[in-house]
Structure 1
Amino acid sequence: MTRRQSHADIASGVVIGLTALAGLTVWSRLPAEIAIHFSASGTPDTYVSKPVGVVLMPALMFATLLVLKGAFRYDPPDVPQVAATITVATMAFMGAVHGLVLAWNLGYPVPFDLVLIGSLVWAVLIVGYAVTVEYADR
């Protein structure tokens, strides 16, 4: 018996695929060592080889997708749309982070203070959404 894929599964798969494709598209322009982690000031403090740098985030995204699916299967939210929204939003967030890492490694300026603010805003919005929707009917 085959399980039908949900729209969230398909959207998440597309985001993961596009994230992987982005790294492959710019492969020839990336340095041999890629910065993947930065201090609060925007200084890189962790480097990996180009193949690892391009594949790591899509692999982490896929693993995160599996963890989220398992968690929501074990403890489903009262409103099923919450699980779908959190899943797709998390994949999009991780894809955006990978895009920013690729951009920095290609020599584009990345405003890390805005990245931090954007990350915090994303977290507040997604948690706010989940809490609001889950407890709206109570």
Structure 2
Amino acid sequence: MARQPDRADIVSGVIVGLTTMAGLTVWSHLPAEVAIHFSASGTPDTYVSKPVGVALMPALMLATLLVLKGAFRFDPPDVPQVAATITVATMAFMSAVHGLVLAWNLGYPVSFDLVLVGSFAWAVLIVGYAVREEYVRR
């Protein structure tokens, strides 16, 4: 019998779907070659074709979702909500990164200093949350 999707699965699926729709929505405004990776100074250093640039992150999100689901099934946290929170937060983070990449390719200014600070803050918050829930609240 197949397992029913839980709320985190549904929310994660919606985030992946919205991320995919965002790329498709701006498709006609994107350049033929899309920058997908940037140096520390904010200079693009990797370009791919538009179809790859639009589809790559949603595909990576699905792969990440499957890896997380497998990892949490193999080694579940003591507090089940931790797995759900980490999964949804990771999908939201990846979606935000894709949104910033799309914005840059559409010509909007993207502050890579703020992206770096935001990424670091996300990592500290999500790790801090998991540690607090798993070890402090036991």
So what's the TM-score if we normalise by structure 1? Answer: 0.99
- Three-state SS of the structure 2 residue aligned to 1:46 is strand
Which residue is 2:28 aligned to? 28
Q: Measure the CA separation in 2 of the matches of 1:137 and 1:89.
A: 20
- 1:34-58 C-alpha deviation (Å, 9 max, x unpaired): 0000000000000000000000000
Which residue is 2:7 aligned to? 7
Runs of 4+ in 1 over 2 A off after TM superposition: none
Q: Which amino acid aligns with 2:96?
A: A
Q: Measure the CA separation in 2 of the matches of 1:112 and 1:136.
A: 34
| Correspondence 1:65-76 to 2 at 5 A | 65-76=65-76
Q: Which amino acid aligns with 2:120?
A: L
Q: Measure the CA separation in 2 of the matches of 1:10 and 1:124.
A: 25
- Three-state SS of the structure 2 residue aligned to 1:35 is strand
Which residue is 2:62 aligned to? 62
Which residue is 1:86 aligned to? 86
Q: CA deviation at 1:136?
A: 2.1
Which residue is 2:16 aligned to? 16
Which residue is 1:106 aligned to? 106
Q: CA deviation at 1:2?
A: 2.9
Q: Which amino acid aligns with 1:124?
A: V
So what's the TM-score if we normalise by structure 2? Answer: 0.99
Q: Measure the CA separation in 2 of the matches of 1:12 and 1:137.
A: 26
- 1:52-99 C-alpha deviation (Å, 9 max, x unpaired): 000000000000000000000000000000000000000000000000
Q: Measure the CA separation in 2 of the matches of 1:67 and 1:75.
A: 12
C-alpha root-mean-square deviation of aligned residues, in Å? 0.6
Q: Which amino acid aligns with 1:43?
A: T
Which residue is 1:49 aligned to? 49
Structure 2's unaligned 5+ residue stretches are none
